Structure 1
Amino acid sequence: MDERDGPGEPDAMMGRIGQVVMLLHAGDREEARIRFAALWEEIGEQGDPLHRCTLAHYMADTQDDPEDELTWDLRALRAADAHTGGEDGRRILGFYPSLHLNLAADYWKVDEARLARSHLGLAREACDALGDDAYGDGVRAAVGRMELRVLGSDQLP
């Protein structure tokens, strides 16, 4: 379900997702999880890839179980991969560093070091799509911290 009225028009679903993200960032993970689940039902598995990617990306952050978090982050990546061109396609490119970074962290949590390193490398490569702004700087710094954790562990006896 695409709630955009046309080019340049506001995207109502992205606004609704954003409202739940604010709830999540305010610390109410349980309520955010409930609301994200309702929006996911509304969007559906075949819904707009940008909506699915964004929602799944944040839904992962509401999960208590690392396997569930991994499942949602994989959904976000699949949705991003399903997207084609246009303005939203350019927006999705900026998601890839964070998507792969989250997957690296997820795989690290479930003791899949090889997959963690693989996604960390993909996150580093995808950083080229980031702007030279606070968001880009933050993601690049997070990738660097994860590299220290994951790659630094390779140096341990």
Structure 2
Amino acid sequence: MDLGNPVLKLCQNGMLAEAQGRTSEARALFEEAWAARTDDYDACVAAHYLARHQEEPAEILRWNEEALRRATAVGDERVAAFYPSLHVGVAMARERLGAEAAARAAFLRAAEYDAALPADAYGEQLRTAIADGVRRLS
């Protein structure tokens, strides 16, 4: 992550605040990052984190879909690792909204990006979410 980029720095600070339980501060930092975005990459990152701080499934879906649109516009390796998480976020929001077929399709789409997941606890958490979602909606 290029911490010389002000948007990425704001997101990193937001993640630190989030990890320390300061959720309203984290959300404010992610909103500031969104306001400061200068390109599709910045927008993808900021929207990805904003999605995690929404309460309503429709807003979670909207922000994850925005991040996906922006990731597609970037179209390079900088966003490759975002796809599994973004598709899981879309899937979970659609499931909460009662759109089970669309949720299952999003979980299956997330599975297509399995190779982009790291071999760590975070990657395993996403792999489990994908497998559980597919199983639950089959």
* TM-score (normalizing by structure 1): 0.77
Q: Residue 146 of structure 1: which of 128, 133, 137 is its match? A: 133
Displacement of 1:21: 1.7
Could you say what secondary structure the match of 1:111 adopts? coil
- What are the ranges of 5 or more consecutive residues in structure 1 without an aligned counterpart? 152-157
Correspondence 1:114 to 2:105: no
Amino acid at match of 1:63: Q
1:123 aligns with 2:114: no
Aligned pairs (5 A) from 1:95-110: 95-110=82-97
State the partner residue of 2:70.
79
Say whether the 8 Å CA contact 1:24–1:62 is kept in structure 2: no
- 1:9-60: CA deviation from partner (whole Å, max 9, x where unpaired): 84343122111122123333323222222221121xxx32222111111111
Deviation at 1:61, TM superposition (A): 1.1
From the CA coordinates, give the structure whose radius of gyration is larger. 1
Aligned mates of 1:26, 1:146 — CA distance in 2: 29
Displaced runs of 4+ in structure 1, greater than 4 A? Answer: none
Cα 1:114–1:101 change in 2 (3 A) is same
Instruction: Give the fraction of aligned pairs with identical amino acids, expressed as a percent.
Output: 31
Residue of structure 1 in register with 2:61 after alignment? 70
The aligned amino acid for 2:20 is: A
1:35/1:11 Cα in 2 relative to 1: closer, same or farther (>3 Å)? closer
Question: Structure 2: any 5+ residue segments left out of the alignment?
Answer: none
The amino acid across from 1:144 in the alignment is A
What is the CA-CA distance between 1:96 and the residue it aligns to? 0.7
| Higher mean C-alpha displacement, 61-70 vs 11-20 | 11-20
When normalised by structure 2's length, the TM-score is 0.86
Paired with 2:113 and 2:84, the residues of 1 have a C-alpha distance of 5
- Matching residue of 2:32: 38
Aligned positions, number: 137
